Structure 1
């Protein structure tokens, strides 16, 4: 199996992030701060010679990927529905107060249609096996690792990394803490070569110049 360095970026900020609105599969766009964050992460990654680029098909992720690829002429992004955030069902478009109000209805069972943690974990692992493991199995070996860009969502990235760690498919590098995935953060994984994947960094925001970030990802609050 060939080796790769995988750079997984969370999309930049949206107004829904800023205002605590649950997005899920809603196709929201980057706001002015999010566009600035996309430019900063693009600058941070401009020297990485990417071979492949994948993105969620939702606009906030695809726009972040497009900003990054402006520095990588000739490389096209492949949009994948598998990289979407969790489907939050009837909660999509609601803020936390509206969510609480919906769930507070007495003696009424509400089918919210939310994607379960198990389903999302299976989706994330399935994406990894198909888009990363199978790809590396098919590529010719070379001295330099392949470089792969992935742009997705906070819930998906956290779910993927935790699934890889729990299943023994990956381990954390020295000093790496699994904490929080902020907008426009970078998570880096070394994979392939017949070895367990290595989480090199997780949710790195050092390139964002200390700007104030949205602390809570309400899509993860199920």
Structure 2
């Protein structure tokens, strides 16, 4: 039987490292008070959606966000949160915790571009992520194939566990959502930031994922 599943992809709320404009991949930090307030508003927007399953990455900022969203939900008696480490943020290797502006100076030097607009205009998301691994002195940063492989595993795990006509709440990360959009939508703009607490909608039907909306 063909399954049709709707996935609500929510980026976690603003964290302290977001506020300080620092790279935050596998490094974790708690939500700011303002981040919590905006997540609560997102929860109110989703209050009438009955979620059959709730997934997060294994990083606490996504779990904290999911709990705040579920507090606002009128339909959800199910509060079980399934953590999936395949859906955690990209690993920035030795650049974790670095100021984003300093980090991009190194990426731009590697790419030969003068600014981030030129970087994303002239290079694919895959190329940019591969640049990052190349300039990491330890080569620990994930490149695009490594990153996408585990995201794909994570998504397939979700749809294999779900039934027809179910709604899924997936609280994850900015680069994760951007990469999913990059894979499944021609309308995706890789320069576009995925906002904290924003909602993007992914639909699974006929064994295929498609992007319904971005950054709502």
Please give the TM-score of this superposition, normalised by the length of structure 1.
0.74
Alignment of 1:81 with 2:85, yes or no, is yes
Q: CA deviation at 1:23?
A: 1.1
Aligned to 2:202: 189
How many residues align? The count is 184
Instruction: Give the CA deviation at 1:99.
Output: 3.9
From 131, 135, 143, the equivalent of 2:161 is 135
Confirm or deny that 1:198 pairs with 2:202.
no
What's the counterpart of residue 36 of structure 1? Answer: 37
Task: Answer yes or no: is the 8 Å Cα contact 1:12–1:60 preserved in 2.
Answer: yes
| Shift in CA distance, 112/31, structure 1 to aligned 2, threshold 3 Å | farther
Q: CA shift at 1:180, angstroms?
A: 3.0
SS of the residue aligned with 2:214?
strand
- Asked if residue 147 in structure 1 is aligned to residue 173 in structure 2, the reply is no
Candidates 55, 79, 90, aligned match of 2:94: 90
Alpha-carbon distance, 1:101 to partner: 8.7
The unaligned stretches of length 5 or more in structure 2 are 110-134
Q: Deviation of residue 197 (structure 1)?
A: 3.0
Check whether the contact 2:94–2:136 (CA below 8 A) recurs between aligned residues.
Answer: no
Which residue of structure 1 aligns with residue 16 of structure 2? 15
Name the CA distance, whole Å, in 2 between partners of 1:99 and 1:188: 30
For the pair 1:50 / 2:47, whether they are aligned, the reply is no
Larger helix proportion of the pair: 2
Please tell me the root mean square deviation across aligned C-alpha atoms, in Å: 2.4
| Runs of 5+ consecutive residues of structure 1 not aligned to the other structure | 166-171, 205-222
